[in-house]
Amino acid sequence: MDSELVTLEHRIAVLADAWDTDRSDAALHDRLVAALRLRRDLLQPTLLELPSARRGI
């Protein structure tokens, strides 16, 4: 496993544990969501949009 992903997984676990303890902390929640999005982007890179996709075809 990539060391960047391992570090990110650890960060997500720490943030999730902290947010589970205090769910009223909006800034903490935002950091958790940002870390999860970064993880998703690392695991599933976005494909380039096709021009036809913008027209709904």
- Return d(Cα 38, Cα 41) in angstroms, integer: 5
Q: Is 31 helix (H, G, I), strand (E, B) or coil?
A: helix
- Return d(Cα 39, Cα 44) in angstroms, integer: 8
Single pTM value for the model: 0.74
pLDDT digits (tens, 9 = 90+) for 7-51: 999 999 999 999 999 999 999 999 999 999 999 988 887 666 656
| 8 Å CB contact between 39 and 8 | yes
Amino acid in the structure at residue 11: R
Amino acid in the structure at residue 32: L
Q: Is residue 55's pLDDT more than 70? A: no
- Please report the pLDDT score of residue 13 as a whole number: 97
- Please report the pLDDT score of residue 45 as a whole number: 75
